[in-house]
A and B are shown apart, each in its own frame.
Chain A
Amino acid sequence: MIRENKKYSRQQTFSSLAILFILMVIGTGIFLAQFDFNPAVFQKDLFFPPTAKDKDFALTPLTKSVIALPPGLVPLTLPESFDAQNLSDKINGKAELYLSAGFISLSSQRYKDKKGSNLWIEAYIYDMGNGQNAFAVFSAQRREGAATLDLTPYAYRTQNALFLVHGRFYIEIIASEATDLAFDPMKLLAENFVRNTAAQTVAIQEKDLFPVQGLVADSIALISTDAFGFDRLNQIYIAEYELGQERLMAFLSRRQETRAAQDLAVAYQKFLETFGGQTIDANLPIKNAKLVEILETYEVVFFCGPFMAGVREAASKEQAINLALQLYEKLKEVADES
């Protein structure tokens, strides 16, 4: 050891000690700093690179646009993309609607009028994973009385916006003005997206299972989760009916098997009873059906083959039973065939 020490000068020894001292100071600093860690300011994006987004519509290199641009529009802002972790950074409290319906990603971008008017347009392209999920968010937000468009089987416009389902995508195109000047480029954007994005046509077979008489146009919707406040009711199709002066709702859900449909019907009936519903003894013309009175309205719950179905918010027993019977007849045809 003595012989080894002779190889190093005093200066080298001091330098080494100084370096060790600095390293100790840094280490102590890091040790103390970690106690100030606050997850409130932790931004995962600082640490993790953004994940690869959708494969079917890559950015157009020249325009940096999420949709091929029609003449007359130029990008106002760069494209943005969001995943399930940060969707609320874009749409705040509405994120839950999408997340519960199977949301995968959102790409959005704003465009402006090339001629310099005040018009600007924002396009939102939600990848919902499949057509059914896309229909769920489309139908949940459908604006009453809006004009249907023939862009895809599920598309409509309002005074300032355009909404559609294309395959697994739900698209919103929103303008800053409610003018014809705004509508034309919005429609062209939508057409470009549909033309350039391969997607399977969305077929919602359940919509043909609802009785036609009294059905409110475009009222069929899909509730992905927690339908009617019951956490076991998922993938529930609903339809609004107008019978005379009254409005009521029919609902149905195809389950994996008859037993699952039966269990769910029983569970929903019990759920209603838990919240003050009273099951009424009635000789119903529907097999496996129950009539429940709750909050001065009537509900019918039944199962038919793999379908759990019913009627709710009826003002009278007769209306509830009549609509439920029509629904039952339609479901029975399908259940018998399968």
Chain B
Amino acid sequence: MNPDPDKNDLTRRQFMTRAVKAGGSIAVAGAAGFWFHDSNGPGRSEEIESDIRLPDFSVPDLGPKMSIIRGRNRVETLRLAVKSIGGIENFIKKGDRVLLKVNAAFASPQMLSATTHPQIVSEMTRLCLDAGASLVIVSDNPINDPGSCFTLSGIADAARSAGAQLFLPRDDAFKPLSVPEGKLIRNWPVLYDPLKRINKIIGTAPVKDHHRSGASMIMKNWYGLLGGRRNIFHQDIQTIITELAMMIRPTLVILDGTTTMMTNGPTGGSLADLKETSTMIAGTDQVAVDAFGATLLGRSLNDLPFIGMAEAAGLGTADYQSLNPVMAEV
């Protein structure tokens, strides 16, 4: 700061004074830093709650409906399953904007049934568009990298060729959201961008064994709407599945039990993990649909606590037979 060092007329006293002041400033700054230091790091903010709420996407006054169609041809069983509960027009009206929430969790070939089959994606998209939907978005937040998952599973091609818009998650597509009665989904990032653009949501998933939860079907599939470090929820997976069902009240769900992953789920990896179970289930009660799906896996409701927990939360019935499901064979 001194323009001419040679003319430095600083006295010894001034120098000492400045040195003491500088030392004092450093000490105060250090003490302040130490005082503010939080060795535990910031905790989760409970006070700043998101004000984003998802609407109930179900069709009012329609009531619980369910169909169970036997057959090996996915397209035919899907068509009949939807028709048996009143047809797609019951659920999708002209101008509706639809999110088709698929399971694209893994970059896995379609023959391994770890992801939603492309035929389900293309046929559901066509059904929605034929019913007058103005927009069909196909999306998921996969476990693996999204590009590979959607491409290698065949979902990307199926969606685009049928006229759907493929939405791959990106950082700015997530918004924090809370489930009002939930204890885990509090201020948690959710794939909100596609959700804010739609007024109907259709969930579709294959029936799979799951090493942690016992099964991965419709309710577990909403896990693909979560962002962030969601793997911590594996520690309490039955509760998170229940809360996911609280978060999404779907318009319609399609559970594909044409081929069931009986073992080594949710990834599988071998055709030896699969069994032809030749069943397609459509319904509005996701709890009932999952309860039936459990039978394809040979699991009881005791094996899959999330079904009972979802029923206890008032999200549907585990007694799927009480809905008098339409049964048919293609």
- Residue interface bits B126-157, CB-to-A below 8 A is 1, else 0: 00000000000000000110001000100000
Does B111 touch A at the CB level, under 8 Å? yes
- Interface residue B239 (Cβ < 8 Å from any Cβ of A): no
A43 to B266, CA, bound (A): 24
Number of A-B contacts (CB under 8 A): 120
Known A7-B2, A176-B111: A93·B234 in contact at CB below 8 Å: yes
Q: Is the CB of B211 within 8 A of A96?
A: yes
- A174 and B114 CA atoms in complex are apart in Å by 13
- List B259-304 residues whose CB lies under 8 Å from chain A: 263-267, 269-273
Q: Interface readout for A93-114 with B: 1 if CB under 8 Å, 0 if not?
A: 1111100000000000010000
A110 to B270, CA, bound (A): 16
- CB neighbours (8 Å) of B210 from chain A are 93
Chain B residues with CB under 8 Å of A144's CB are 272
Residues of A near B230 (CB, < 8 A) are 40
| A92 contact from B143, B189, B272, Cβ within 8 A | B143
CB distance from A27 to the nearest CB of B (A): 11
Confirm or deny: A232 has a beta carbon within 8 angstroms of a beta carbon on chain B.
Answer: no
The minimal Cβ–Cβ distance linking A99 to chain B, given in whole angstroms, is: 10
Q: Is the CB of A160 within 8 A of B212?
A: no
Which chain B residue shows the least CB distance to A85? Answer: B231
Residue pair A158, B109 in contact (C-beta under 8 Å): no
Please determine whether A93 and B269 come into contact, CB atoms closer than 8 angstroms.
Answer: no
Pair A88/B211 contact, Cβ less than 8 Å: no
| B84 interface residue (CB < 8 Å to A) | no
Give complex CA distance A163, B112 in Å.
Answer: 16
A42 to B270 Cα, complex, angstroms: 34
A275 cross-chain contacts in B, Cβ below 8 A: none
Beta-carbon contact of B42 and A37 below 8 Å: yes
Determine whether the beta carbon of B273 is less than 8 Å from that of A143.
Answer: yes
B271 closest partner in A (C-beta): A159
Whole-angstrom distance between the Cβ of A120 and the nearest chain B Cβ: 7
CA distance A40 to B171 in the complex (A): 12
Which residues of B sit under 8 angstroms from A174, Cβ to Cβ? 112, 269-270
- Docked Cα-Cα span, A37 to B107, in Å, equals 32
Neighbouring B residues of A92 by C-beta, 8 Å:
105-106, 143, 231, 266-267
**Contact across chains for A88 and B231 when beta carbons are under 8 A apart:** yes
Mask, A131-148, CB within 8 Å of B = 1, is 000000000010111100
Shortest Cβ distance from residue A7 to the other chain B in the assembled complex, whole angstroms:
7
Question: Which residue on chain B has the smallest CB distance to residue A173?
Answer: B269
B: contact size bracket: 35 or more
Shortest Cβ gap from B95 to chain A (Å):
35
B229 in contact with A77 (CB, 8 Å) = no
Q: Within the complex, which residue of B2, B109, B228 is in contact with A41, where a contact is CB–CB below 8 Å?
A: B228
B45 touches A36 (CB 8 A): yes
Residues of B within 8 A of A42 (CB): 228-229
CA distance A141 to B272 in the complex (A): 11
Is residue A34 within 8 Å, beta carbon to beta carbon, of the partner chain? Answer: yes
Q: What is the bound-complex CA distance between A126 and B44, given in angstroms? A: 33
Which residues in window 185-240 of B have CB below 8 A to A? Answer: 187-189, 210-213, 216, 227-231, 234, 237
Q: Please determine whether B107 and A38 come into contact, CB atoms closer than 8 angstroms.
A: no
* Chain B contacts with A in 138-187, Cβ cutoff 8 A: 143-144, 148, 152, 174, 176, 187
Q: Closest CB-CB distance, A247 to chain B, in whole Å?
A: 15
Q: How far is the CA of A35 from the CA of B2 in the complex (A)?
A: 42
Tell me, in angstroms, the Cα distance from A91 to B268 when the chains sit together: 10
Query: A8 at the A/B interface (Cβ < 8 Å)?
Result: yes
Q: How far is the CB of B1 from chain A (nearest CB, A)?
A: 7
Q: Is B16 on the interface with A (CB-CB < 8 A)?
A: no
Which residues of B lie under 8 Å from residue A300 when comparing CB positions? none
Determine if B187 and A40 form an interchain contact, defined as CB atoms under 8 angstroms apart: yes
In contact, B234 and A88 (Cβ under 8 angstroms): yes
| A40/B213 in contact, CB under 8 A | no
Contact between chains at A172 and B269 (CB < 8 Å)? yes
A93 near B45 (CB under 8 angstroms)?
Answer: no
Query: What is the distance, in angstroms, from B125's C-beta to the closest C-beta of chain A?
Result: 23
A89 at the binding interface (Cβ < 8 Å): yes
Closest 8 CB pairs of A and B: A40-B228, A143-B272, A176-B109, A93-B212, A88-B231, A158-B270, A158-B272, A37-B42
Given A35-B45, A38-B187, A88-B234, 18 other A-B residues pairs in contact with their CB atoms under 8 A:
A39-B228, A40-B44, A41-B227, A43-B229, A88-B143, A89-B231, A93-B213, A93-B265, A96-B212, A96-B234, A120-B109, A145-B272, A146-B272, A159-B272, A160-B111, A160-B270, A160-B271, A177-B111
Q: Spell out A's residues near B (CB within 8 Å).
A: 4, 7-8, 34-43, 77, 86, 88-97, 110, 120, 122, 141, 143-146, 158-161, 163, 172, 174, 176-178
